[in-house]
Structure 1
C-alpha cells in the first residue's frame, strides 16, 4: 500500500494535517471544531494534490520508462513516437523522451540494415547471374574448340567470334559496374563545358542509325532551328545519357516502330525528350527501372542484350548535374523519357 501513489499521499496528508492542527492549536482562540475542520481540509487538499502529482508526474512516467526499457531489453525498438512538450516540469518525462528517441533511432537503424541486407542479397544474385551468362557462353565455345572443333576452319572462326562477343559483353558489364560504383561513391568528377546540345543529339542519332535500320525503326528529330540550344554540362556523360535513352527506345520498340527525339528551349533551361511507340512499361515497374539490373520482362531483355545498368548510370549522371530523369509510359502505346539541362545564354 505504501509503495503506491495513494498510500504515500495518505501518509503525507496525515502528516501535513497533524502539523496544521498542531500549529493552529497554539492559538488561544482555537476551538476543537476549528481544529477538526482545519485538519480535515488540510488532509483532503494535501492528499489530492500529492496524489495527482505522484500519479501523473512520477509514477506514470516511471511506468512508461519501465515499459520502454523492457522493450529495449527484448530488442523490440518499435516504439510509437509521442509528442513532447519541451516546457514540461517533469524531469522523468524528459528522460522518457530521451529513451524513446534512442529506441526510435535504433529501430530506424535496424530497418536500414534489413533493407541493405535484402539489397545485397538481390545484388549478389543478380550480378552472379549476369556474370555467369557471358562466362559460360565463352567457356562453352572455347571448350568445344579444344575438343576438336578447332580443326574445322569455318567452325573455329564462328566460335571464336561468339566467344569474343561474350567476353566483350563481360568487359562492358564490369566497366559499367565500376562506373556506377565510382559515381555512387563520388569518385567520378564532372568536367563542365559549354556545348551545343543540338549537335550532340545529331551525333548520337547518327551513331545509332545503323542499329535502328536493322529493326526498321525510324528516328525523328525535332527542334526549332531559330533557337539556340547551348548548355553547360559534362559533354561526354550527357552523350552517354542520350545514347542510352535513344538506344533503349530502339531496342525495346516494335519492328517498324518510331522513335521521336524532341529538343526544346525554355526561358532558363532546355529539355530533351525521347519517345517510342513500343510496348510500354507497366506502372508497377516504372519506379524500379532505375535500379541496378532491374529488368521489365527479364527473359526478353536478356535476349536483347545490355548490362541492366544503363538507366542506373543515367540517373546518377543527371543527379550529378542537379537534374533528374522523368518517365511516363502507357502499356501498348510506348514510353517517354525526359530530362532538363540549364540553358546557356549566348553573348551577341
Structure 2
C-alpha cells in the first residue's frame, strides 16, 4: 500500500510540473488537462515498474536473507519465501534487532576472552608454583648427593606436599570440566539434610580446632528435614563451604550452619565472622581461580576451585547459590535444595509417594 502511495505522489508531482510548464507556453486549459492526465498515467506506470522491479524486489530479498540468517537457515532458503507487504519497515526492525543482538554477542565474547586470558594466566601460575618448588627441592638433594639425610628427608616431604597440591589441582580441574559438560550424573535420593550437615561438621572438627574456630549447628535442627538431591555431591558442597569459612575465618571465631524451610525448597546457610569480602569482588567469587587476596590465599593453600565446584554442583541440581558479605564482619554462603515430597499413607494400603 505504501509503495502505491509513494508512486502516486511522485506521478502527481511530475504531472503538475509538466502541466504548469505546458500552460506557461500554450495558455490552453484543454491541453493542460490532457498533458496532466497523460503524464500522470505514464509516470505512475514507469515509477511503479522501476521501484517494484529494481528497488522493492532487492529490499525484499535483503529482508528474506536477514530473516533467514537470524533463524540460522541457509541463504538459499531465503528465495521464494513469503514476506509482508511492507518490507522496508520490516527490514528496519530486523536490522535494529540484529544489531542489538550482535552487539550483545560481541560484548559477551569480549567478556569470555577476558575470562580466558585470566584463566590461562591463573592456571599457569597455579601449576608453576608447586612445580618450581618440587624442582628446587630435588635439585638441592641431588647437589648434596644425600650427604645430609635429614635435609633430604625434609625436602622430600616438602616436594611430596607440592605433588599432592598438583594432584588436587588436576583432580578439581577434571571434576569441574566434567560438571560443565554434564558428564557427572546427579544421583537423586531422599535424605535428611540435617544429618548430613552433622556428619560434615564432625569430620571438620579437627581442622576447626587447628584454626581455633568453633563450629555451630543448633539443636533445633534435630527434627528431620528431608531433601531430594545427590547426597554425595551436596556433602562436597558443604565440605567446601566449611573449609572456605575456616580458611578465611578469624582465630577464636565461629562458623555456624543454619537451615530454613521454604515453600518447596530448603535453604542452607554457612556463616562465618571472618575477614569478609569487598562488595566489588562478590560477582566474581565463584569464578575458577579467582582470589580476593592472592598472596594470602596461596599461603592458606587449596586449588582455588572449591567455590567454582560448589556453584556447578548446585546449578546441576537446578538450584541457586548466593553470597552476602561485609568486609571485616564475615560472610554468609547460602544454597537451596529441593524439599522432598512427603509420603502419603492410607489405612490398609502401602505407603505412596506424592
Change (3 A) 1:223 1:326: farther
CA RMSD of aligned residues (A): 4.0
State TM-score, norm by structure 2: 0.74
Instruction: Using the TM superposition, give the Cα deviation of residue 151 of structure 1 relative to its aligned residue in structure 2, in angstroms.
Output: 2.6
CA deviation string 1:7-50 (max 9, x = no partner): x94798339977xx9xxxxxxxxx954654676699799999x9
Instruction: Using the TM superposition, give the Cα deviation of residue 311 of structure 1 relative to its aligned residue in structure 2, in angstroms.
Output: 0.6
What's the counterpart of residue 25 of structure 1?
Answer: none
Residue 278 of structure 2 is aligned to residue 262 of structure 1: no
Give unpaired runs (5+ residues) of structure 2.
1-5, 63-81, 346-354
What's the counterpart of residue 73 of structure 2?
Answer: none
Give matches, 1:88-237, under 5 Å. 89-95=85-91, 97-98=93-94, 106-148=102-144, 150-222=146-218, 224-225=220-221, 227-237=223-233
What's the counterpart of residue 24 of structure 1?
Answer: none
Deviates more, 1:239-248 or 1:196-205: 196-205
Change (3 A) 1:154 1:252: same
Change (3 A) 1:258 1:46: farther
Q: Residues of 2 paired with 1:109 and 1:296: CA distance? A: 28
SS of residue paired to 1:150: coil
Q: Residues of 2 paired with 1:225 and 1:254: CA distance? A: 26
Report if aligned partners of 2:241, 2:333 keep a CA contact under 8 Å in 1.
yes
SS of residue paired to 1:336: strand
Aligned length: 310
Report if aligned partners of 2:265, 2:338 keep a CA contact under 8 Å in 1.
yes
Report if aligned partners of 2:216, 2:257 keep a CA contact under 8 Å in 1.
yes
What's the counterpart of residue 328 of structure 1?
Answer: 324
What's the counterpart of residue 301 of structure 1?
Answer: 297
Report if aligned partners of 1:253, 1:279 keep a CA contact under 8 Å in 2.
yes
SS of residue paired to 1:224: helix
Change (3 A) 1:183 1:171: same
Q: Residues of 2 paired with 1:297 and 1:162: CA distance? A: 24
Aligned counterpart in structure 2 of residue 284 of structure 1, from 280, 286, 291? 280
Q: Residues of 2 paired with 1:223 and 1:40: CA distance? A: 99
Q: Residues of 1 paired with 2:86 and 2:322: CA distance? A: 51
Q: Residues of 1 paired with 2:331 and 2:195: CA distance? A: 24
Give matches, 1:29-68, under 5 Å. 32-33=28-29, 36=32
Residue 14 of structure 2 is aligned to residue 13 of structure 1: yes
Report if aligned partners of 1:328, 1:336 keep a CA contact under 8 Å in 2.
yes
Q: Residues of 1 paired with 2:334 and 2:277: CA distance? A: 15
SS of residue paired to 2:218: strand
Instruction: Using the TM superposition, give the Cα deviation of residue 166 of structure 1 relative to its aligned residue in structure 2, in angstroms.
Output: 0.6
SS of residue paired to 2:314: helix
CA deviation string 1:136-180 (max 9, x = no partner): 111111111111163323222221111111110100000000100
Report if aligned partners of 2:273, 2:331 keep a CA contact under 8 Å in 1.
yes
Instruction: Using the TM superposition, give the Cα deviation of residue 61 of structure 1 relative to its aligned residue in structure 2, in angstroms.
Output: 12
Q: Residues of 2 paired with 1:256 and 1:207: CA distance? A: 19
Change (3 A) 1:91 1:298: same
Q: Residues of 1 paired with 2:58 and 2:311: CA distance? A: 50
CA deviation string 1:213-248 (max 9, x = no partner): 112111111252463212121111100100011111
State TM-score, norm by structure 1: 0.76
Instruction: Using the TM superposition, give the Cα deviation of residue 254 of structure 1 relative to its aligned residue in structure 2, in angstroms.
Output: 1.0
